[in-house]
Structure 1
Amino acid sequence: MKILVIGGGGREHAICWKLAQSPQVRKIFCAPGNAGTAEVAENIAIDVMDIEALRVFVEHQSIDLTIVGPEKPLIAGIVDVFEARGLRIFGPSREPAQLEGSKVFSKRLMRQAGVPTADFEVFDDPEEARAYLRAADYPIVVKADGEAAGKGVVVAQDYAEAETAIRQMMEERIFGASGERVVIEECLRGPEASILAFVDGETVRPMIAIQDHKRIGEGDTGANTGGMGAYAPVRLAPQSVVDEVTRRIIEPTVAAIRATGIPYRGVLYAGVMLTEKGPYCIEFNCRFGDPEAQVALMLLETDLVDICRAVVEVELDKVPVIFSQRAAVTVVMASEGYPGSYPTGVPITGLDGARKLDALEVFHAGTQRDESGQLVTSGGRVLAVTATGETFIEAQKRAYAGVDLIHFKGSAVRRDIGWQA
């Protein structure tokens, strides 16, 4: 098979790495890719949002399967364009992808499907939102309606913080059109977990529970990021919790979408809060998480090609999805200043030494080669050092041993990934 992976981050490197292990794969392309994907695939200089150019490339190269990594092209409807031409593509079409593209769509669908989620109200007028907030109980959560790279959520401790969020989102438009509407919802309490599932529109195959670490600082402090690390298994979310989330959250959502006439196919990611009343859904994403993908794919034992083909062909019920019983930990190495402004072009050294460690992979996110061939930084999140072990402690020690061998000036690393384990 010839496969195209769309995207250029750590998630896409992990997908390419996993695909390369399949005896069914003859050639992998990655658009646009990074310095890591170039080691297992051929990078193609096409932007993820240039859907027409991607379509032309797939047809010209006779690509057998396209796998979409990031959410933006899914929300924009790349699957609809490809399927209209008879091209095989893994991911949800435009309408179901609004589960991530619109918090309003997602929350209303959850309410309709009876999915346990926080009570909420929707506002498109900032003054009406402020009036609601003056009488609200705190803390309270303010969310931009549209896609905001995982950063459009504010947990406000008082009216002043909530009002600032309304002003920035709805009036200053720091997230662009994504802030035209906001969702204001009750603040749930409890640890969080990510429960991802493969879905073919009918069958749901849940993955293992994974816990992400969104804050830049240790102890879950500081600014929100795209994710500073993740691990599995999650002690607070054993198989019984995964089963409950599948039954009460994921399956009802898939059924509600199927009832619209446009089934959900791809990866469905449920971000859940483990409250005293049981799991509640915080949000949905329409693709693999990042850095959750690095953990999940390190532990996945089933051929990823078999799974993706089964999803596209609506035959997921015929494919057992098996994960290793080992533990996995991924630690993100970020650029100095992330998630704010950060330098690029900073030389990276030490990867060869880290790769000599057993049961460890270094997935590239924001990397490239300069004119001399030197590996340099090109993004906020630079690398995801991912290791497995028989126990969580073994995996964690191995991951940080890898981190300690890699160097670039000003690198930001959380030293407490998996602290709840």
Structure 2
Amino acid sequence: MKTIRIGAGAGYSGDRIEPAVELAERGELDYLIFECLAERTIALAQQAKLKDPQQGYDPLLMDRMRAVLRPCSENGVRILTNMGAANPLAAAATIRAIARELDLPHLKVAAITGDDVLELVTSGDYLDDTGAPVTQLQERLLSANAYLGAQPLADALAQGAHVIVTGRVTDPALVLAPLIHEFGWAMDDWHKLGQGTLVGHLLECAGQVSGGYFADPGYKDVSNLARLGFPIGEVGQDGSVVITKVEGSGGCVTVATCTEQLLYEIHDPAAYLTPDVVADFSNVSMTQLAPDRVAISGATGRPKSGMLKVTLGYLDSHIGEGQISYAGPGALARAQLAQAIVAERLQLCGVQTQELRFDLIGANAIHGAQLSREHAEPYEVRLRVTGRTASLQEAVRIGNEVETLYTCGPSGGGGATKSARAVVAVRATLIDASQVHATIHFGDD
């Protein structure tokens, strides 16, 4: 049975680069994927694009491509990534420029567009997931991007693309597309599409399936996390997969790590909705074949819904924050006094907040006062004051009041910090898939 090897080079925008280089050089791969888009990422990228039309793609795109293009080219590895974010065309042009710098002019780079549906949703009668009309967001709406499926990526591979850069696609589509292309799967072979979607879901977060975000010393020990190896999927023509990693790299691949990743961000394991298929993971089975080798199969699927999820990025509010630390005997009492002072000052000065939160880090910030009160008094405490405001000017005032504790608060305060920033939030809506049309671009068109 034909088998292809797919490596996961990134699970989020700021992920480590060295494991991807290790995969490109030593992974004996056919494909390397970089999954770098979170829910708010495109909205933030759209803000960057508005400031500079040549920006709006992942900030680490150049570093990643400079690190992997040569070994991928030398080893015949094709790359798929959603690092195009809000500007896949500019991202593709940047990759071509890097390829020329590296004397790799033969690389065929494709950009896929069509996920940007801002004009469509703002001109139609769409409701977001709160039940409100999308048009109510008005000038606060920054972006609207539909989740594309695997078909346009598979088409680009069929047209000879060595590197494919997209905006918003589903995370599993980056893996499903090579499987469709290599194995000739039909787009209505729901069982294979369901199994392929499972493979993509297992690989999409890179190091999470090979021991990252898993370790709990004494309970779930993982060796050499500083050199965590990112995963490889050895995928058969029937969609079955063995998850593994480069020999000698850090981390581990076990039934437990794979099970945790299987359950990651899954609402209904029997109905995982994607643009390509409604996947069913409820009968998946896993077998530990050898150290760092887990065989996984049993996913199925049924016909897709015909609808696409659209992520709406919008300017929600502003956040102001201030922090200061107290240590030594009486640290908790001094931090509590500091909190009371700031609370009163914000009222006296008329700071307008939509939401206000006080945390004593080291005493109650994670589990709250009820669960934390039975534990011994901490020797060091950090006060954090956070407020949501309508304007940046009001947000700034929160941090300023915390900073004044240096001279107007309890003794021994130190390490004060303050910040204020805009909050980009997300909502979602659904649109008919027939209204979205993906386009493949080769060259600088």
Q: TM-score, normalised to structure 1's length?
A: 0.32
Greater Cα radius of gyration, structure 1 or 2: 2
Q: TM-score, normalised to structure 2's length?
A: 0.31
